[in-house]
Structure formats: C-alpha cells, structure tokens
Amino acid sequence: MAETKIENRKTKIGGAPIPPSSSIRDFTDLVAWKLGGELRRKAYELTRKFPAEEKHVLAAQLRRAAISVTANLAEGYGRYSYQENMQFCRHARGSAYEVRHHLTTALDAGHISKSDWQQTEELAKRVILVLNGYIRATRQRQKQANKH
C-alpha cells in the first residue's frame, strides 16, 4: 500500500476546501492556527482516556507537541521578518509530525482506537498541508516585498 506524500501540492486530504483569506488581522485568523487548534483539542480529548501510567509520559508528550503547533504559529506571526515567521511555521510543522508519531505510539500501545487514530492522523496531515501552503505564500510575499 503506497503512502501519500504530505509534501505533494496536489495531495487531497479529507475536509472541506480551504478558502483563501484576505483579511488576516491576527494569528487567530490563520486557517493553519484554527486547524492546529482542532488538533490540540483532539489530542487533549484522546489523552484523557490514557492509563494513569501514561499521564506524565506519552500523554504529556502528545499534548505538548499539539500545543507547540499553535504556539509556534502565534509566535511566528508576531515576528517582524518573513524569514522568522517561516522558521516558526517550520517548527509548527515539525510539531505536527511529532503529533503523528505520538498518535502511532498510542495506537500501538492500545491507548486509542484505530478509528480515533485515523481521524486524528488525517487532521494532522491536513494541518501539515495547510502549513506548507502558508510557508509557500509567505515566501512569495517575501519575494514580492524584496522586489520593491
């Protein structure tokens, strides 16, 4: 079974199409941040069901990684340069990959169902795709700004 490469621009992952937003006034307006928030809430929901011995281990790591997605987007948005913003977006993307790893570990350990894993895995992949688009768009804005 071939796995879909997340970096491919033509990849289709579940969910409604994401409309372009022309009125970004705050990091909370970013589609990537909103999707990251969904991922964070789902991580908290899933980890509430983990056994007590995982409370300070896998559950904590999964929660921290999910929190890091939105936190890095917020911090990057608050930076002054395009380059810094993109770097924080890359950190957020890395955290989304970390969430995927922890979800797989939780599935392997029997802490989450295959259904919960699939649903959350698809959401994490969608976050990554949107982050890739945001990074590309920011790079384009940087190139345009450098022309002037």
DSSP 118-140: HHHHHHHHHHHHHHHHHHHHHHH
Q: Is 36 in contact with 127 (CB distance < 8 Å)?
A: yes
Q: What is the pLDDT of residue 80?
A: 86
Q: How many domains does the chain have?
A: 1
Tell me if 4 is assigned to some domain.
no
Tell me if 39 is assigned to some domain.
yes
pLDDT (tens digit, 9 = 90+) per residue, 30-83?
999 999 999 999 999 999 999 999 989 999 999 999 999 999 999 999 998 999
Tell me if 94 is assigned to some domain.
yes
Tokens encoding 91: 């950190």
Tell me if 10 is assigned to some domain.
no
Mean pLDDT to the nearest integer, 106-124: 98
Q: What is the pLDDT of residue 22?
A: 60
Cα–Cα separations (whole angstroms), residue 27 to 73, 79, 106: 7, 11, 30
Q: What is the pLDDT of residue 35?
A: 98
Decide if pLDDT at 147 tops 50.
Answer: yes
Q: Which domain holds residue 54?
A: 27-147
Q: Is 13 in contact with 126 (CB distance < 8 Å)?
A: yes
The CATH number of whichever domain residue 57 belongs to comes to: 1.20.1440.60
Cα–Cα separations (whole angstroms), residue 65 to 14, 23, 60, 102: 22, 28, 9, 9
Tell me if 6 is assigned to some domain.
no
